[in-house]
Structure 1
Amino acid sequence: MLIIDEQTLSQLNVLGQLTAVFSSIGGEFWLRGGWAIDFLLGEITRPHGDLDLVTWVQYRESLERALVEAEFEWMPVSDRQTDFRKGNVDIQFLYLTRSSEGNIIPNGLPEWVWRADSLPLKHFTLKGISSFVLSPNQLLEEKEVYEQIGRTLRPKDIESKKILTRIIAEG
């Protein structure tokens, strides 16, 4: 059993705050990365370095304003991403849009077409926090895309691929 450390508790607390902020702006977000897998499994499997989230680009301005008002440190990155920090918790938002053909793509990256089923509207709950999560197929595909473009998979990526493959197989 994984002992929940202070960093994990801080991340869960910030995730709860993010849920409230999104509720206040009428938007939604999806977890990606390690926390997404933990929510899919319903258990914390390992410590995480940060919170990785995706949301629609149309929420960007109101999200940034609301988070700054909630005392999150704002760190603009690019058209595709904004990072924030609250206490000891790093948060990355990847912004999504739709191409002219209706495909889901990261803002400004028309060559990276996401799966049509990547954004399910199903809540998963972990430690009393409820969140949408990217589909297991999208999470696995993201790892495979990174591998195809030459990013060396870390041990946690290899383990994540195994877990996601198992989740997909179990339906």
Structure 2
Amino acid sequence: MSLTLSQRSWEWIKAQQDFHSTELAKQMDLSMKEVKRVIDHLTKKGAIKTINTNHKPHVYAAVRGVDFDFKRNVSGKQCQRQLIWQAMRWHGKFKIDEVVASSECTRASVLRYVNALVKYGYVKVMRPQWSPVKKQTSPKQVIYRLLLNTGHKYPVIRKNSLYDQNRKTDVKPVVKKDSSNAMD
């Protein structure tokens, strides 16, 4: 498993007494934009702190005694939905099993969220489980396509609507013309 940018940077930072952004950029071969993102992320997580703001660039140090954990917290529904949304955006055209593998969420959670997005017109069923034309002996895996990729934040499913965090709008359910069985 390859390390993320923050993980690679953290390994170097832990070994330093203190550092500044240009040292981190040089050691990790990063742009200053990437360094700023890493420093902001690690500061927000409480892994590093600013120890001198009088110097330009600022001087930072790892918070001693902190064993920073990079594992994602997938216990919350919002976090799971974000992971599912990111997996769907990455695949574009997908099967439920592909999203389950990419997002590391349960099949039931993925199915529930994808079917809700179908209801609101964000996702379309490209190939239903049962063909209306051909005679099948067994069901096929449903193939979906993400139609509305509005941004990195996941759409929030509400009781009677969907809230798109990227467009900051409420979306009403789409009226279906056909009633194909999309359950996987």
**TM superposition score normalised by structure 1:** 0.27
Q: Normalised by the size of structure 2, how large is the TM-score?
A: 0.26
Larger-Rg structure: 2
Give the structure with the larger strand fraction. 1
Greater length-normalized contact order (CA 8 Å, ≥ 6 residues apart): 1
Higher helix proportion, which one?
1
